């Protein structure tokens, strides 16, 4: 069935930032539309493609020059700052409300332009050349990241070089994942699913890239092609050593806000602390400044990075690393009794099994870090039903102009 041109009145914003129109028969999602606007859209099913804004919202602003509304990186540039932050804050409040929780949600911590130090791009080698960027919304077309305002300058100014690098590595017509992190030692570049084996000539040419000082490490399909300098990030008396292509908090200002909240909510305890889903030790190393910490992580590469950080750190309390799949084999309530504070920072799926074990434990304080308000609210409901009180929720806008929001929350038994 062909799309039908319809006149719609937008009622509210959805979780991904789409304008939502409620008609007599269905709900229609229109990307780029704002509440209160009357728009003309080509409608197919529940999706409307914005054709014309007939009545604009007073909260609409002009995006930055060169912004493509179909770019999948930051689709909310057209919403003014105040309403945008209120919308994101509301995502957390609404997720809690749906679970019957009325928690104290602090104002969201904003971040500025040029702060994203870790980006996951799509690299595509096509007939017209190689492009590195983001998938256009709802398509497999790659929109170049050139001019992207959220990237740190260290990445933004090297995009042409990254495209040339990907062009040398990728097979023809191949689409690959390229993770780039800006570290104190230079860019840490990891390409996955390149589609071909590197030749000796490839390796020699790529190795020369390590001589110009911009790229610290290049990894292709989990093989280290060169290591010019250690990709590390100084955090006071210690350093984080990111795993190639592995998780790293995307923006340094957001990480700083999250660390501040975690340390404040963790409190002081005579017992050791536990950091579950510890990753490379973003919170572990900071917590170890005041208490012994057991860091639990399943990914071997992340644990190896954490071990390196621990070996190079000075002046910290004892850190014990434990490899364990917390989804399949969470710490039991009895094992948790050893800790006065437990911090957990799971993937988007949340930490249901961990929350259930904590609900049966006597742990005094719990600090939850989350990138998904919905799964956080589910886990918070489990903790509250198990005898905990939610004392604070701190949202953080780590991914500017997107529908993603981070948060840190504290619970006391």
Binding site members for S-adenosyl-L-methionine: 249, 277, 297, 345
Stated as kind and residue range, the H or E segment containing 202 is helix 200-209
Question: Which residues are 121's β-sheet partners?
Answer: 178
H-helix segments, 240-371: 252-266, 284-287, 300-312, 333-336, 352-359
For residue 246, what are its two tokens?
A: 């592995």
Helix-strand-coil percent breakdown of the chain, rounded to 5? 25, 30, 45
* 148 in catalytic set: no
- CA separation for the pair 278, 299 (Å, rounded): 10
User: How far is Cα 281 from Cα 242, in angstroms, rounded to an integer?
Assistant: 9
Q: Which of 71, 73, 148, 371 is catalytic?
A: 371
DSSP states of 87-124 as a string? HHHHHHHHHHHHTT----BPPPBP--TT-B-EEEEEEE
Q: How many CB atoms lie within 10 A of CB 171?
A: 13
Helix 373-385, helix 81-98: angle, nearest 10: 40
295 and 321 in contact (C-beta within 8 Å)? yes
How many angstroms separate the CA atoms of 253 and 110, rounded? 9
Give 314's contacts (C-beta < 8 A, 6+ positions apart): 237, 238
Q: Is 221 exposed, middle or buried (0-12, 13-18, 19+ CB in 10 A)?
A: middle
Give dist(CA 247, CA 188) in Å, integer.
Answer: 12
CA dihedral 406, 381, 321, 327 (to 10 degrees): -100
Q: Which residues are annotated as a binding site?
A: 249, 277, 297, 345
Residue 321's beta-bridge partner residues? 295
- Give the residue numbers annotated as catalytic, written as ranges: 371
């Amino acid at each position: 069935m062909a799309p039908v041109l319809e006149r719609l009145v937008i009622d509210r914003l959805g979780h991904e930032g789409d304008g939502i129109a409620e008609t007599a028969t269905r709900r229609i999602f229109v990307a780029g539309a704002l509440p209160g606007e009357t728009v003309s859209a080509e409608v197919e099913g529940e999706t409307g493609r914005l054709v014309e804004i007939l009545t604009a919202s007073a909260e609409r602003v002009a995006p930055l020059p060169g912004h493509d509304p179909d770019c999948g990186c930051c689709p909310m540039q057209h919403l003014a700052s105040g309403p945008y932050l209120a919308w994101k804050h509301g995502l957390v409040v609404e997720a809690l409300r749906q679970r019957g929780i009325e928690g104290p949600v602090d104002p969201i911590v904003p971040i500025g332009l040029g702060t994203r130090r870790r980006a996951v791009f799509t690299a595509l080698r096509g007939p017209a050349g190689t492009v590195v960027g983001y998938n256009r919304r709802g398509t497999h077309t790659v929109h170049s990241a050139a001019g992207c305002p959220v990237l740190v300058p260290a990445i933004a100014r090297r995009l042409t070089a990254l495209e040339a690098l990907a062009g040398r590595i990728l097979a023809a017509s191949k689409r690959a994942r390229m993770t780039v992190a800006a570290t104190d030692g230079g860019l840490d570049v990891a390409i996955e699913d390149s589609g071909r084996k590197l030749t000796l000539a490839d390796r020699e040419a790529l190795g020369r890239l390590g001589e110009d000082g911009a790229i610290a490490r290049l990894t292709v399909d989990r093989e280290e092609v060169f290591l010019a300098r250690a990709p590390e990030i100084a955090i006071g008396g210690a350093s984080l050593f990111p795993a190639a292509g592995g998780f790293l908090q995307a923006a340094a200002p957001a990480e700083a806000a999250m660390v501040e909240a975690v340390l404040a909510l963790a409190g002081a305890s005579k017992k050791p602390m536990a950091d579950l889903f510890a990753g490379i030790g973003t919170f572990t190393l900071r917590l170890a400044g005041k208490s012994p910490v057991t860091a639990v992580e399943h990914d071997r590469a992340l644990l190896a990075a954490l071990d390196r950080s621990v070996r190079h750190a000075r002046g910290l309390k004892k850190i014990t690393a434990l490899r364990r799949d917390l989804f399949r084999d969470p710490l039991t309530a009895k094992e948790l009794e050893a800790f006065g504070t437990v911090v957990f920072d799971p993937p988007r799926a949340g930490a249901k099994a961990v929350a259930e074990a904590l609900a049966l434990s006597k742990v005094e304080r719990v600090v939850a870090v989350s990138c998904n308000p919905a799964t956080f609210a589910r886990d918070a409901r489990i903790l509250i039903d198990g005898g905990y009180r939610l004392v604070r929720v701190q949202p953080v806008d780590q991914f500017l102009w997107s529908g993603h929001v981070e948060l840190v929350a504290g619970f006391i038994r």
